[in-house]
Structure 1
Amino acid sequence: MTGRRRIRSTFLPALIRRPARAIRTAGALVVCASLAVGCGIVPGTGGAGDDPITVMTWAPQKTNATNKPGMPALALAYARHVNSHGGINGRKLRVLLCNDHNDSVDAAKCARRAVKEKAVAVVGSYSQYADSFFPILEGAGIPYIGGYGITNGEFTSPLSYPVNGGQPALLAGLGRELARTCGPVALVRPDTIAGDELPTLINSGLRVGGHSTASDLRAAEDATEYSTPSERALDQATTDLTETGCVVPALGDRTSTFMDSFRRARENYPEVRTDTVLGSVDQTVIDATGGASSPYEGAYITGWYPVETDKRWDGMKKVIREQAFTDTRIDPADAGVQTTWIAYTALEAVVKSLGDSDVTADSVRRTLDDGFKVTTGGLTPTLQWQFQDVLASVGFPRLVNTDVTLQVVRDGQLVAARKDAIDVTKTLQGADANN
Structure 2
Amino acid sequence: MTGRRRPSSRPIRAAVAALSTAVGASLLTGCGTVLPNEADDAPITVMTWAPQGTKATNMPGMPAMAQAFARWVNDTGGIHGRELHVVTCNEHNDAVQAARCAQRAQEEKAVAVVGSYSQFGRAFISPLEVAGIPYIGGYGLTQEEFDSPYSYPVNGGQAALLAGNGRQLASRCEHVALVRPDTIAGDELPQLLSTGLKAGGRAAAQDVRAPEDAGDYSKQATSALERVGADSALGTAAQGATLDSSCVTAALGNRTGTFFDSFRRVQDDHPKVRIASILGSVRQSLVDSTGGSSSPLEGTYATGWYPAADDARWDPMKKVINKYAFDDNRIDPNDPGTQTTWIGYTVLRSVLMSLNANDISARTVRNALDDGHAVDTGGLTPTLRWGYDDTLHVPNYSRIVNAHVTYQVVRNGRLVAVRKGFVDMARTLENYHPAD
TM over 0.5, shorter chain = yes
Distance of 1:361 and 1:172 partners within structure 2: 33
Question: How does 1:26-425 map onto structure 2 within 5 Å?
Answer: 48-239=39-230, 240=232, 242-244=242-244, 245-386=246-387, 391-425=392-426
User: Could you tell me whether the CA contact under 8 Å between 2:243 and 2:273 is conserved in 1?
Assistant: no
User: Could you tell me whether the CA contact under 8 Å between 1:388 and 1:397 is conserved in 2?
Assistant: no
Deviation at 1:243, TM superposition (A): 3.8
- For the residue of structure 1 that corresponds to 2:41, the secondary structure is coil
Aligned-residue CA RMSD (Å):
1.5
Q: How many residues align?
A: 390
User: Could you tell me whether the CA contact under 8 Å between 2:393 and 2:430 is conserved in 1?
Assistant: no
2:14 is matched with: none
After the TM superposition, which of the residue ranges 238-247 and 406-415 deviates more from structure 2? 238-247
User: Could you tell me whether the CA contact under 8 Å between 1:158 and 1:387 is conserved in 2?
Assistant: no
- For the residue of structure 1 that corresponds to 2:40, the secondary structure is coil
Distance of 1:210 and 1:390 partners within structure 2: 27
Deviation at 1:430, TM superposition (A): 1.3
User: Could you tell me whether the CA contact under 8 Å between 1:373 and 1:384 is conserved in 2?
Assistant: yes
Question: How does 1:6-45 map onto structure 2 within 5 Å?
Answer: none
In structure 1, list runs of 5 or more residues that go unmatched.
1-46
User: Could you tell me whether the CA contact under 8 Å between 1:389 and 1:397 is conserved in 2?
Assistant: no
After the TM superposition, which of the residue ranges 379-388 and 159-168 deviates more from structure 2? 379-388
Q: Deviations over 1:91-123 (max 9, x none)?
A: 100000000101111111111111011000000
Deviation at 1:181, TM superposition (A): 0.6
User: Could you tell me whether the CA contact under 8 Å between 1:75 and 1:340 is conserved in 2?
Assistant: yes
User: Could you tell me whether the CA contact under 8 Å between 1:59 and 1:72 is conserved in 2?
Assistant: yes
Deviation at 1:267, TM superposition (A): 1.3
Structure with more of its chain in helix, by fraction: 2
Deviation at 1:434, TM superposition (A): 3.8
Q: Deviations over 1:167-209 (max 9, x none)?
A: 0000101101111111221110111121110011000010011
- For the residue of structure 2 that corresponds to 1:170, the secondary structure is helix
Deviation at 1:48, TM superposition (A): 4.7
1:12 is matched with: none
Amino acid at match of 1:92: E
Amino acid at match of 1:131: R
User: Which has more radius of gyration?
Assistant: 2
Deviation at 1:388, TM superposition (A): 6.5
Deviation at 1:389, TM superposition (A): 5.8
Q: Deviations over 1:142-161 (max 9, x none)?
A: 00000000000100000000
User: Could you tell me whether the CA contact under 8 Å between 1:387 and 1:397 is conserved in 2?
Assistant: no
Q: Deviations over 1:263-313 (max 9, x none)?
A: 111111121110110110110101112223323211210000001111100
In structure 2, list runs of 5 or more residues that go unmatched.
1-37, 234-241
Distance of 1:306 and 1:131 partners within structure 2: 30
User: Could you tell me whether the CA contact under 8 Å between 2:191 and 2:435 is conserved in 1?
Assistant: no
User: Could you tell me whether the CA contact under 8 Å between 1:386 and 1:398 is conserved in 2?
Assistant: no
User: Could you tell me whether the CA contact under 8 Å between 1:387 and 1:398 is conserved in 2?
Assistant: no
Q: Deviations over 1:336-367 (max 9, x none)?
A: 00000000010000010013341100110100
Q: Percent identity?
A: 59
Amino acid at match of 1:321: N
Question: In structure 2, do the counterparts of structure 1 residues 85 and 208 end up closer, same or farther at CA, with 3 Å as the change threshold?
Answer: same
Deviation at 1:390, TM superposition (A): 6.0
TM-score between the two structures when normalised by the length of structure 1:
0.87
Amino acid at match of 2:297: Y
- For the residue of structure 2 that corresponds to 1:202, the secondary structure is helix
Q: Deviations over 1:195-230 (max 9, x none)?
A: 110011000010011101111011111111011101
Q: Deviations over 1:222-245 (max 9, x none)?
A: 111011101111112222251421
- For the residue of structure 1 that corresponds to 2:86, the secondary structure is strand
Deviation at 1:373, TM superposition (A): 0.6
Deviation at 1:387, TM superposition (A): 5.0
Q: Deviations over 1:30-77 (max 9, x none)?
A: xxxxxxxxxxxxxxxxx9511000000000000010100000000010
